[in-house]
Structure 1
Amino acid sequence: MQNFGFKQQALAVSTDPEHRFDLALHLGELKIAHQLAGEAASQQKWRQLAELATSKGQLELAQECLHNAQDYGGLLLLATASGNAAMVQKLGDTCDEAGKNNVAFLSHFLLGNLEGCLDILINTNRLPEAAFFARTYLPSKISAVVSLWRDLLSKVSEKAGQSLADPKDYENLFPGFLDTLKTEQFLKRERQQRLPADAYQQVPPNHERTPVEEMKAAEASGRFHYIPSSRESGEDLEMLNEETDKISEVSVGQLVTLLPVSSKLPPPPTIDPKKLDPELLDDPDLDEELELDIANLNLDLDNIDTMPITESERRDELKARTSRPVTTVRSRLRGDKQTSSSAHT
């Protein structure tokens, strides 16, 4: 009957579960396909049904199918596309238990749970990544992560392990580190505020913001008070929690107005073509100069010193640069041309 185009009648009379499931998918019979997929308990069938349910806009059924198929990547896509923060939170917890670290990391990162992301990197022994993640997002955790990384690296090379610098011991190698600690505490309140998905047009994107400048502006206006972690008391923590509760009650429009206008980056500088030297643009020797510059590069990639540069070494290098005569490739080329022309004459 199927060969003659009577698929609906073939579905009614067929007794083979595999055949009936394929017919139900072709006919779009979601209830019958759902029943057959549950009886078969096959991840492949659940994925096929999830794709059909998504195409028909049955997102709840698609979520159930993806969960039964253990398709965590599909669940993350569905949760983010629908703006369902509770679903992302549940997915992150489920992936933590199942050991699906990639999806768990993304779920926690999307929700602003940076501590959870750092824990995943540490528990999976990705200590270098954990150190750089802490340096970028959680500077207060750097010392703890660097200590773990140093212990791990010292098992391979004691010298390499000691070359890792801790901001607690080498503050001069981390300029502006105190500002990053303040910014971390300042942004912690914002990370706890979950905005609806439709508010993205009102909130400036991250690449247009300068969090350190926002922190300094809030500190200058009295809207933010930094509490050092080494001196936190019960009263200080209570005050910080009260400020966090106030932020959580702020509406989307009010939160947007809290962001300073100066946080946006200035537009990139524009170059007026009329002010460029036409001789430089039309100079046929430019390509030759660039080739000579590249050819004269001598990079010794086998002997790279991983030890940090001291202040005395930095001053000696700066003095050597300032005392070195400046000779450009263009002058050398023109000098060679003049020498060759005089030799011909």
Structure 2
Amino acid sequence: MNLFPCTLVYVDVDAKPGPNSTNRDPLSYVSQAICLNNSLRRVGLPTLTIMTNAPEQVARRLAGMPAENRPAVTLLTATIELPKNTPFYAAHFKLDLMDQVAESLPADTMMLLLDADMVALLPLDPDLIERCAQAGLGVFDISDQVFPAYGSERVVADLEIVAERRLMNPRWYGGEFLIATPAALRRLVPRARASYARYLSESERLRHHGDEAFISAALNALSDEGQVLIEVGAYQAVGRHWAGNNYRDLRWFRCCSFVHLPGGKALLEKEARFDDFAPDRFWRTMRAAHLRGRVRHALKRIVRMLNVERLAARMRCTA
């Protein structure tokens, strides 16, 4: 089974930037995609395809690179409409990307949809690829991160609002990694479009916004109907890393095929300046960012404790 690695770069200068993006350059995601493509090349995976509504702008950004190192660029035909101040605005167009890929991929090729702010460290396990090919869908379950952070009742409520049904075993799936056969995509996309319509109409009731909400709802509904979902995180196919976060030991990520750095976009943009991806150089930079993040987290905790103590002291004085 062949793989088609692709990423979305949706360009709209009038839209609200992503919550985790500090670079206001609308083409900053192209730099991240360059880094991702360099890392894919190093581990022997196929060239990344950037799917974008602005192919000429993206091509100009890539023009200074050697042709053999460039990601491919394909026009994305965008069909969905939503308010431009919607959180994670650009990510919603992954639905159009999946629809387009479902109709264009040959039967012997699986889509490997990746966020641009990722790197490939190791080849994907061939046995995992085969399992995903047999099942049709490989997904990244991040429920153990999302449920405790926002409260399981609130997360489940959002999923069931968008799915418009009670779900047997509600799970939340990360949008940074999805592997799917064309046949499975053709089952998923219509269900995801229906979920998207409910997501849009119920947006004021929802705590969570972005592609993960309606894609997760659709995946849960398909699972309830018998669709097998291969959970790729258990195989360390992908890990989501936040600098300074103690969710996992940093060493765990070294054994992942892909690492997602939603808070490390600037790091990846700097890495993209090199012609080739060097894991040791990347790890040195990532480790330094992680240690700085640990210090920031510790200082924030201290400030919170001091504020609580000051408030308690004021209350004692006024009692």
So what's the TM-score if we normalise by structure 1? Answer: 0.20
Max radius of gyration: which structure? 1
So what's the TM-score if we normalise by structure 2? Answer: 0.22
Q: Which of 1 and 2 has higher RCO (CA within 8 Å, sep 6+)?
A: 2
Q: Which structure's residues are more often helix, by fraction?
A: 1
